[in-house]
Amino acid sequence: MALIGILGGMGPLATVDFMAKVVQLTDASCDQQHLPMLVANLPHVADRSRAILGDGEDCLDGLLEGIDLLNRNGVGLVTIPCNSAHHWYAQMLARSDAPVLHIADACVAAVPDSVRRVAVLGTGGTLVSGFYQAALAARGIEPVVPDAEMQQEIAACIHEVKAGALKHAAGHLALVLDKLAAQDVRVAVMGCTEIPLAARHLPDSPLALIDSSLELARATVSFAVARGWNRPQ
Amino acid sequence: MALIGILGGMGPLATVDFMAKVVQLTDASCDQQHLPMLVANLPHVADRSRAILGDGEDCLDGLLEGIDLLNRNGVGLVTIPCNSAHHWYAQMLARSDAPVLHIADACVAAVPDSVRRVAVLGTGGTLVSGFYQAALAARGIEPVVPDAEMQQEIAACIHEVKAGALKHAAGHLALVLDKLAAQDVRVAVMGCTEIPLAARHLPDSPLALIDSSLELARATVSFAVARGWNRPQ
């Protein structure tokens, strides 16, 4: 039986949110029409953002252990609902027998053609890694990177979600969105899977927000349904 | 590293809900303080309730495949957020190297001592299997089993959750709770992990509701935290 492999736990609530999106996007009227998944929820992988910034222990071994675990169990696809981990996408792809979806590719593909400037909301590590800026630039879209003050608020938002404090997280996010709106930015990608959990607690948003977790879930469901994994013979 | 093994997908949304409860019950301020889990989300296991009622294909092989998958990967505990599957608890326990928590034991332990009558809300299969009635009777509590008309509404509630229609599900549940209240029943166990997802959409409930999924999550977190799985050395 084909299984969707999910390398998760980074963070755990974002993984739960991603799984909920996969379930809700699957057209099913009973359990047996849903998609099988194997979820390695491994929250002890070292902090990805700090590793990118050279401010913490290396996390690649932990990521590759998760890739190995999923492949040992014969998954037919690997998805990783953590943006920062995609700094090591090439290494994970090289290690995996199963194909690995790229969260930023899925997310940037969802930006409407008419949009010419997009803010990138993510961890400090994701921004330094630069894969969102590159994916946007490849589509001719100008990436807007938050300044240091805004980035502190984004980091606080992400931290509060990991600690379960979603309303506090939303408060930090709202400050950033207001500043971006004042700079005439109209669209942002939520390039960290914690941020959509905070965004759900905003009364409204002055920017259109594109959700990397939702777009990865859409790509995951499309891949699996196209191969009939929801209706095994 | 010790892992919590979750045999899930029965149904998938109930598994996501159970995982969310485990995450939320864990005292953590960053990813690395959360609990590692391996989740086998296997929605294609044959319908447990129909198998118990002799009205569908056998599901024991599917359950044991899931138990084997988790044990092959070295989990230190197995939890199963599907009540009906516990009809085969003895067989799953015999097959598993890791201990297996019993959802009904966790749930019935949460009934306050002062309560003398408790309604059992579950699939037709769970009620015929009778393990909730036995666990309640062992504590000297009278189990109240819904009549055929109420049971039809409970079955519809569960079906709607599996199809993602939570508000419709809540409507069916509300009818049953009103009837039980009219029979002077004051407490019910939600002995099916889909029912709490419906209950969240009730404006209020005339009965106190004890959530088997939440109680299993509490038992799971207690087991794992007592062994330091949230703070690996």
Mean pLDDT rounded to a whole number for chain A: 97
**What is the structure's pLDDT at B1?**
54
Does A81 share its domain with A20? yes
Count of domains forming chain B: 2
Residue A233 confidence class, pLDDT cut points 50, 70, 90: low
Cα-based torsion angle of the residue sequence B203, B208, B211, B215 in order, rounded to the nearest 10 degrees: 140
CA distance A56 to A83: 17
User: Nearest CA to CA, how far is A88 from chain B (Å)?
Assistant: 19
pLDDT beyond 90 at A182: yes
Over residues A42-93, the pLDDT tens digits come to 999 999 999 999 999 999 999 999 999 999 999 999 999 999 999 999 999 9
Q: What average pLDDT score do residues A211-233 get?
A: 94
Indicate if B128 and B196 belong to the same structural domain: yes
Range of the domain at A207: 105-212
Q: How far is the C-alpha of A30 from the C-alpha of B125, rounded, in Å? A: 16
Assess whether A111 and A190 both reside in one domain: yes
**Nearest by CB: A43 against B16, B31, B39:** B31
Inter-chain residue contact B16 with A13, CB threshold 8 Å: no
DSSP designation for A208: E
CB of B71 within 8 Å of a chain A CB? The answer is no
| B84 and B113 co-located in one domain | no
The mean pLDDT of A180-196, rounded to a whole number, is 98
> B141 and B221 in one domain?
no
In a domain, B232, yes or no: no
Contacts of B42 in chain A (CB under 8 A): 36
Residue A72 counted as domain residue: yes
Structural domain contains residue A231: no
pLDDT(A1) > 60: no
Q: How far apart are CA B52 and CA B183, in angstroms?
A: 28
Q: Do A31 and B9 touch (CB under 8 A)?
A: yes
> Which residue among B9, B19, B159 sits closest to A34, beta carbon to beta carbon?
B9
The answer to whether the Cα torsion of A104, A210, A6, A151 is positive or negative is positive
Q: What is the pTM of this model?
A: 0.97
Asked whether residue A169 is domain-assigned, the answer is yes
Regarding whether B122 and B96 lie in a shared domain, the answer is: no
Same-domain pairing of B96 and B68: yes
Same domain, B157 and B82: no
- pLDDT score of B156: 98
Q: Are residues A35 and A88 in the same domain?
A: yes
pLDDT per residue as tens, chain B (233 positions): 589 999 999 999 999 999 999 999 999 999 999 999 999 999 999 999 999 999 999 999 999 999 999 999 999 999 999 999 999 999 999 999 999 999 999 999 999 999 999 999 999 999 999 999 999 999 999 999 999 999 999 999 999 999 999 999 999 999 999 999 999 999 999 999 999 999 999 999 999 999 999 999 999 999 999 999 998 76
A67/B157 Cα distance (integer angstroms): 38
Residue A232 within a domain: no
Is residue A114 within 8 angstroms of chain B, CB to CB? no
Q: What pLDDT does residue B49 have? A: 96
Cis-peptide, bond into residue A74, ω within 30° of zero: no
A34 touches chain B (CB under 8 A): yes
Within-domain flag for A30: yes
What does the pLDDT read at residue B233? Answer: 64
Enclosing H/E stretch for A144: strand A142-144
Residue with tokens 């009620």: B127
Contacts of residue A65, Cβ cutoff 8 Å, sequence gap at least 6: A42
**Sign of the C-alpha dihedral, residues A62, A66, A71, A77?**
negative
CATH number at residue B125: 3.40.50.1860
The verdict on A76 and A94 lying in the same domain is yes
Same domain, B89 and B117: no
Q: How far is B121 from chain A (nearest CA, A)?
A: 19
- Dihedral in degrees, nearest 10, Cα atoms A109, A115, A120, A126: 30
**Residue A155 domain flag:** yes
ipTM of this predicted structure: 0.96
pLDDT digits (tens, 9 = 90+) for A85-137: 999 999 999 999 999 999 999 999 999 999 999 999 999 999 999 999 999 99
Residues A79 and A174 in one domain: no
Report DSSP letters for B9-49, one per residue: -SSHHHHHHHHHHHHHHS--SSGGGSPPEEEEE-TTSPPHH
* pLDDT > 70: percent of chain A: 99
Res A229: pLDDT: 96
d(CA A49, CA A91): 17
Residue A186 is assigned to a structural domain of this protein: yes
